[in-house]
């Protein structure tokens, strides 16, 4: 019975994913095809002047850029199904290896900002909820509402100006120092480069989880078991530690997991401002230069990644729910 349920769950999710992926791929291909940028030009860059017309023809032939769009699409699809994402025009490199390299950088950025936003957001939500109606609560709420309507790039530029330009605490951009061989880049260097973009994403990502946690804390405080806990003499931090923490943590975690998709979008923008060499920067490069294979590759990968994030959130939530229904303490 359990195996049947798990099987059904996996089948349903896989179908949903395949449908979603197909829609995303078609849409992306259509959008890139509409781009007025000549892919050969972006491939050649400055060499455009010195390369002869015949050579250009050959390159176009090699990448198939002059074929009808539909034919190009099916060619890509066929290769994709065989596990081949093709070669990037801009980087002149295998798409899969580009994604691998950029993903490590992006993932570090997202993981760091996701954890920071989670911890900070939960803490702020608890402070606001436990002190509902006070100055602290109103300040935190205001902060969240303002941030929820502030564009990521704006925050990014603001942090950059304050911390890099004025205070000089952090580098202006990139993922590693300029002019240093990659083997000589230290962890401290990497940390310095990642901190500002990660802070940007956290500052924004906090708002959702804070407001959600605040509401949950208020609901819990209003419940009968808190009234009883108060009647037993529990107050303030003891009350939080014994009852509020456990009853608000898991809802907060599952909400935070579900916000992973948004984080992905935010990361693309933040990487732009900080020239942080992750997937976000690569996808913009691909888009600006009509680099179809790279664009498609990143889109497929991103869809997959966000999908996995949401799946994890669901599995986690279901597991906690099941444990609770079975009467096991968490």
Partner 1 sequence: MNIVYKFRDETNEEIEKIKSNFLLEVNHLSLTIERVGKGSDVEHLHVIRDFHLNIHQGEVVAIVGASGSGKSLLADAILGIHPKNSLIEGNIKYENQPLTEKRKKRLRGNDILLIPQMTNALDPLMKAGKQVESFIKQKNKQKIVKDIFQKVGLDPAVYHQIPSTLSGGMIRRIFIAMALASKVKLIIADEPTNGLDAEALDELLFQLKMLANDNRGIVMITHDLEAAMKIADKIAVFYAGETVEIADRKNVRKAGKFRHPYSRALWNALPQNGFVPIECSQPSPAEEIIGCSFASYCPEATKRCGTEKPELREVENGEMVRCFYA
- Work out how close the CB of 208 gets to partner 1 at its nearest, in angstroms, rounded to a whole number: 23
| Binding residues with partner 1: total (CB under 8 A) | 22
Q: Does 78 bind partner 1 (CB under 8 A)?
A: no
Is 183 a residue that touches partner 1 (CB under 8 A)?
A: no
Helices and strands (H, E) in the chain, number of each type: 14, 0
* Nearer CB in complex with partner 1: 142/319: 319
In DSSP notation, 222-255 reads: TSHHHHHHHHTT--HHHHIIIIIHHHHHHHHHHH
Subset of 96-155 contacting partner 1 (CB under 8 A):
none
Nearer to partner 1, 46 or 329 (CB): 329
Which CB sits closer to partner 1, 92 or 325?
325
Contact string (CB under 8 A) for partner 1, positions 232-271, x = contact: xxxx------xx--xx------------------------
Query: CA-CA distance, 267 to 280, in Å (whole number)?
Result: 6
DSSP-derived 3-state class of residue 175 = coil
HSE-CB for 147 with a 13 A CA cutoff:
24
Q: For residue 242, how many other CB atoms are within 10 A of its CB? A: 12
Residues 198-237 as x/- pattern, contact with partner 1 by CB under 8 A: -------------------------xxx-xxxxxxxxx--
Q: Do the beta carbons of residue 201 and residue 110 sit within 8 Å?
A: yes
Kindly report the backbone phi and psi dihedral angles of residue 85, in degrees, each rounded to the nearest multiple of 5, phi listed first: -95, 0
> Closer CB to partner 1, residue 17 or residue 245?
245
Q: Which is nearer to partner 1, 179 or 233 (CB)?
A: 233
How distant, in Å, are the alpha carbons of 12, 18, 173, 191 from that of 186?
Answer: 45, 41, 16, 9
Give min distance, CB of 251 to partner 1, in A. 11
Residues of the shown chain interacting with partner 1 in the complex, contacts defined by CB under 8 A:
223-225, 227-235, 242-243, 246-247, 324-325, 327-330
């Amino acid at each position: 019975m359990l195996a049947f349920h798990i099987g059904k769950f996996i089948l349903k999710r896989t179908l949903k994913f395949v449908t979603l992926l197909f829609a995303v791929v078609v849409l992306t291909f259509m959008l890139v095809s509409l781009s007025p940028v000549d892919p050969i030009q972006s491939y050649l860059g400055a060499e455009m002047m010195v390369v002869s017309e015949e050579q250009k023809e050959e390159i176009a032939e090699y990448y198939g850029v002059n074929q009808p769009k539909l034919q190009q699409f099916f060619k890509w699809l066929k290769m994709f199904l065989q596990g081949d994402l093709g070669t990037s025009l801009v980087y002149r490199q295998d798409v899969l290896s580009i994604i691998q390299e950029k993903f490590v950088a992006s993932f570090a950025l997202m993981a760091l900002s996701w954890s920071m936003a989670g911890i900070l957001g939960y803490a702020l939500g608890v402070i606001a909820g436990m002190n509902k109606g006070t100055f602290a609560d109103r300040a935190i709420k205001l902060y969240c509402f303002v941030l929820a309507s502030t564009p990521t790039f704006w925050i990014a530029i603001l942090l950059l100006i304050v911390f890099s330009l004025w205070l000089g605490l952090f580098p202006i951009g990139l993922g590693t120092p300029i002019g240093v061989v990659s083997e000589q880049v230290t962890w401290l260097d990497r940390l310095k480069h990642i901190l500002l973009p990660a802070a940007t994403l956290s500052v924004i990502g906090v708002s959702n989880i804070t407001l959600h946690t605040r509401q949950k804390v208020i609901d819990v405080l209003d419940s009968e078991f808190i009234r009883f806990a108060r009647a037993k003499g529990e107050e303030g931090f003891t009350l939080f530690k014994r009852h509020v923490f456990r009853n608000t943590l898991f809802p907060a975690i599952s909400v935070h997991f579900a916000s992973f998709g948004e984080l992905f979008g935010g990361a693309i923008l933040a990487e732009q401002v900080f020239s942080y060499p992750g997937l976000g920067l690569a996808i913009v490069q691909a888009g600006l230069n009509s680099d179809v294979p790279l664009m498609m590759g990143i889109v497929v990968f991103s869809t997959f990644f966000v999908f996995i994030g949401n799946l994890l959130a669901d599995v986690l939530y279901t597991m906690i729910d099941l444990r609770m229904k079975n009467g096991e303490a968490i």
